């Protein structure tokens, strides 16, 4: 039996990570039908079924799971070997895949994209904004961006951007109708828009002033899972929102939103870009980190 091609094995690994032929195609740059053809060819060559398929789901068989476990380190080694060749190039190249929280993607990464791609025309950037706590290694990402408290200790973490603050905001007409809260406990009497993480957990609004902290489990008619939707609902006067300051500062300065409890919202360490400690850093990731540091610290002479 001849050995399967590397492209077929890479397609298999992509499907195994995402459990989706469509997402695997996007990751590998192949069409969905080409991915399906590669998997069928691999199964025929190996003589085993690698996936359970239905019209609605894809799952690994036991044989597929064993192959994926053995294949992952080997594909990483191949990737590292190819990446090492980039050290001999004057310009970084390759694909850089980053998984970021939605807020960090909007606040920190989106403003860098144009400059990054124009500076490194041989790099392909894939940015996935995701508020879940994704295992970036298992999902095939080069790096992730989250708050420091969410990052595992076995990762290398690099600070990305300045400290952050939250802001409690509402539309002027909302405050005209319901009044302005003076203390976090006053929020119990207000219509607040709650945020639910992909895990299902509801986010408590966190406050601190003069070493006194308060975590408020706010109530309200509306629960969302995206701060951009929350911002729109706050502008519509539905209720109060608790949103990263950088996402709402323009609306505050324009008078479309009013801020309250500002003295209870101190700054805290911002977002971190993180990547696996044991793996060679891709040249595309190094280039992104270097550019992000320039943006953070101002242009270098």
Q: Degrees (nearest 5) of the Cα angle 228, 234, 238?
A: 130
For tokens 């992909």, the residue is 198
* Per-residue confidence band for 257, with pLDDT thresholds at 50, 70 and 90: very high
Q: What does the pLDDT look like over 58-68, one tens digit per residue?
A: 899 999 989 99
Euclidean distance between CA atoms 263 and 260, whole angstroms? 8
Other CB atoms closer than 10 Å to residue 133's CB: what's the count?
16
- Range with the lowest mean pLDDT among 72-81, 106-115, 263-272? 72-81
Average pLDDT over residues 185-209: 94
Q: What does the pLDDT look like over 143-153, one tens digit per residue?
A: 999 998 888 88
Chain mean pLDDT for the chain? 88
Q: Say if residue 22's pLDDT is above 60.
A: yes
Other CB atoms closer than 10 Å to residue 255's CB: what's the count?
8
Average pLDDT over residues 38-43: 90
Euclidean distance between CA atoms 115 and 134, whole angstroms? 27
* Per-residue confidence band for 85, with pLDDT thresholds at 50, 70 and 90: low
Task: Report DSSP letters for 27-52, one per residue.
Answer: HHT--HHHHHHHHHHHHHHHTS--EE
Q: Say what the pTM is.
A: 0.68
| Residue 137 near residue 276, CB atoms below 8 Å | yes
- Range with the lowest mean pLDDT among 81-85, 186-190, 196-200? 81-85
C-alpha gyration radius of the chain:
23
Domains of the chain, with CATH numbers?
Answer: 6-85 (1.10.10.10), 89-160+270-297 (3.40.190.10), 166-264 (3.40.190.290)
Q: Say if residue 80's pLDDT is above 80.
A: no
The larger pLDDT score, comparing residue 135 to residue 274, is at 274
> What is the model's pLDDT at position 297?
47
């Amino acid at each position: 039996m001849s050995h399967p091609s590397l492209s077929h094995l890479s397609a298999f690994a992509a499907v195994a990570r995402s459990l989706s032929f469509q997402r695997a195609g996007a990751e590998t740059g192949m069409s969905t039908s080409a991915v399906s053809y590669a998997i069928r060819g691999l199964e025929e060559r190996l003589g085993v079924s690698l996936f359970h398929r239905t019209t609605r789901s894809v799952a690994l068989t036991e044989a597929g799971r064993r192959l994926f476990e053995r294949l992952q380190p080997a594909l990483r080694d191949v990737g590292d070997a190819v990446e090492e060749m980039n050290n001999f190039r004057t310009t970084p190249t390759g694909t850089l895949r980053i998984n970021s929280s939605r807020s960090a993607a909007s606040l920190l990464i989106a403003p860098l994209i144009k400059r990054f791609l124009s500076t490194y025309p041989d790099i392909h950037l894939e940015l996935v904004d995701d508020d879940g706590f994704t295992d970036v290694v298992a999902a095939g990402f080069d790096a992730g961006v989250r708050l420091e408290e969410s990052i595992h200790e076995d990762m290398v973490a690099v600070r990305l951007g300045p400290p952050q603050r939250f802001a409690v905001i509402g539309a002027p007409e909302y405050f005209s109708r319901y009044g302005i809260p003076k203390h976090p406990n006053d929020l119990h009497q207000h219509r607040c828009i709650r945020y639910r993480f992909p895990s299902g957990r509801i986010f408590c609004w966190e406050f601190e002033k003069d070493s006194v902290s308060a975590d408020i489990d706010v109530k309200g008619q509306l629960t969302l899972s995206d701060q951009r939707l929350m911002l729109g609902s706050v502008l519509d006067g539905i209720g109060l929102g608790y949103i990263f300051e950088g996402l709402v500062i323009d609306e505050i300065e324009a008078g479309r939103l009013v801020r309250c409890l500002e003295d209870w919202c101190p700054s805290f360490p911002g977002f971190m870009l993180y990547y696996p400690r044991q793996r060679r850093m891709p040249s595309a990731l190094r280039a992104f980190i270097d550019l992000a540091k320039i943006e953070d610290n101002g242009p270098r002479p």
